[in-house]
Amino acid sequence: MNIYFLGNSFKYECEAVIKLFFPLERFGFFFDEDIAEEGDRIILSTVGKIAVSIECGELSASKESPLPENEDETEGALCRTLFLMLSEVTGCTPEWGCLTGIRPVKKINELTAQGLDRHQRFEYLKEMYFLTPKKFELCEMTADQQHTALETLDEKNSFSLYVSIPFCPSRCSYCSFVSHSITSRGAKELIGPYVKKLCEEIARTAQKAADMGLFCDTVYIGGGTPTAISAKHLDNIIKTLYNSFDLSKIREFTVEAGRPDTITEEKLAVIKENGATRISINPQTLSDEVLKNIGRIHTTEEFYKAFELARSMGFDNINTDTIAGLTGDTVEGFADTIEQLIGLSPESITVHTLTVKRSARLFASENRQGLAGTADVARMVDTAFTRLTESGYSPYYLYRQKNTVGNLENVGYCKKGKESLYNIYIMEERQNILQWAQVHPPSSSTLPQGR
């Protein structure tokens, strides 16, 4: 589809709004150029007034609004007019409205800091972005849950560490990260050299942090799947962290064990003995059929065993990740996953919504068969919210990504007092994070789906 801009070049925000309605479409962009008479197109004009129109297959519509008096508000006004036109012509009203490219809870925290009360916050977000009451409520609950973590943060003098282990036992169909399947010989041979270089870099960076007088607040070892490497390598990395940094003040130490098929008593012992306070064991779904569909080579049984083993070894802060919308899953199936997890009573349960990025196997249209429709995925997410909040869990961090089914959200739920500090600080962009092996950019994608 071609997008024509007349009198403006607000490409970034307008593209984000258009993608809410045409998520997998490819676009061509033209600025103050002649408009081709043929072909799918959207025209976005700010010449004398705001005028938007669409011609796309059967869809045909247009909408106008006056230019705002303050020129700085033109982009927002154009996006709102575009959003309204696309909502009307497609019959689809995204629940997050045209709130894109903004961290929703961060915005709530900012509005609160500006002195707006709850009612004023809602009115503002409704008027500016068409945010629905349901999503506003989710943001408010999440912001409430973050208070202690944000109040106790020494923003200026502290930092967190993120260490990535970019290896996995197999590649999930939805994975868009740089992670190597250790089933390949090449990847297996990379592990040793990778660990060696990583440890060298850790030691070098620690000196810099010390020179700056900063102290380490939280540690997060993610991936990939950190437990995909041997207990010895894991031990080496963690001991290097301790030997390099002063970790005497850390308040949280997470190891994202991730895939249940990589978890052994020996590796859990290394994690525990080295002082980790929080681990993740991630089933994504508790349906063996869905696990097979997404290319994970473990079973639900292996998840239960890994969870039980961790509990028996004294891990008292365990997170479990799930994804709504996986291939072959249903609303009932996903609800069952949530019920079973609630039954296990982990300290936190993270509910992601499936995101299909270009680098994932799932992006190819022939691989997308069996994916649930947007309405069903929205029901999965709603069911999770209802059942988890009824069962003593509260949302405590939230983020959204491009290309997520239904433009929905990823939410971490936890029991009272079990909020992961690292997750809050990175999402709210409140603390410096030192990362190694930039397999993910330092953004919300460092909290990816499906470890």
Q: Which residues bind ligand SF4 (CB under 6 A)?
A: 168, 171-172, 175, 177, 179, 223-225, 258-259, 450-451
Helix 104-113 / helix 118-129 crossing angle, nearest 10 deg: 130
Q: How far apart are CA 384 and CA 374, in angstroms?
A: 15
Q: How far apart are CA 145 and CA 360, in angstroms?
A: 33
Three-state SS for 374?
A: helix
Q: What is the CA radius of gyration of the chain?
A: 23
Shortest distance in whole angstroms from residue 179 CB to ligand SF4: 4
Shortest distance in whole angstroms from residue 208 CB to ligand SF4: 28
Which one, 326 or 398, has the nearer CB to ligand SF4? 326
Shortest distance in whole angstroms from residue 142 CB to ligand SF4: 24
Contact 198, 232 (CB under 8 A): no
Cα dihedral 435, 441, 447, 451, rounded to 10, equals -90
Contact 168, 180 (CB under 8 A): yes
Tokens of 438: 């930039």
Phi, psi of 433 (to 5 degrees): -120, 125
Shortest distance in whole angstroms from residue 451 CB to ligand SF4: 5
Point out the residue whose Cβ comes nearest to ligand SF4. 175
Which one, 63 or 451, has the nearer CB to ligand SF4? 451
Q: How far apart are CA 357 and CA 368, in angstroms?
A: 12
Tokens 């290319």 locate to 295
Which one, 224 or 283, has the nearer CB to ligand SF4? 224
Tokens of 35: 């408009």
Which one, 168 or 214, has the nearer CB to ligand SF4? 168
Tokens of 407: 């433009």
Tokens 């036992």 locate to 169
Shortest distance in whole angstroms from residue 281 CB to ligand SF4: 12
Which one, 206 or 356, has the nearer CB to ligand SF4? 356
Which one, 175 or 408, has the nearer CB to ligand SF4? 175
Shortest distance in whole angstroms from residue 449 CB to ligand SF4: 6
Shortest distance in whole angstroms from residue 225 CB to ligand SF4: 5
Contact 142, 411 (CB under 8 A): yes
Shortest distance in whole angstroms from residue 215 CB to ligand SF4: 30
Contact 230, 240 (CB under 8 A): no
Which one, 359 or 365, has the nearer CB to ligand SF4? 359
Shortest distance in whole angstroms from residue 327 CB to ligand SF4: 13
Which one, 97 or 283, has the nearer CB to ligand SF4? 283
Q: How far apart are CA 451 and CA 76, in angstroms?
A: 36
Cβ neighbours of 237 (radius 10 Å): 21
> Between β-strands 409-414 and 394-400, what pairing exists: parallel, antiparallel or unpaired?
antiparallel
Which one, 395 or 450, has the nearer CB to ligand SF4? 450
DSSP 8-state class, residue 337 = H
Q: How far apart are CA 442 and CA 446, in angstroms?
A: 6
Shortest distance in whole angstroms from residue 356 CB to ligand SF4: 12
Which one, 146 or 225, has the nearer CB to ligand SF4? 225
All residues at 6 or more sequence positions from 316 whose CB lies less than 8 Å from its CB, including other chains: 347
Q: What is the enclosing helix (H) or strand (E) of 351?
A: strand 348-353
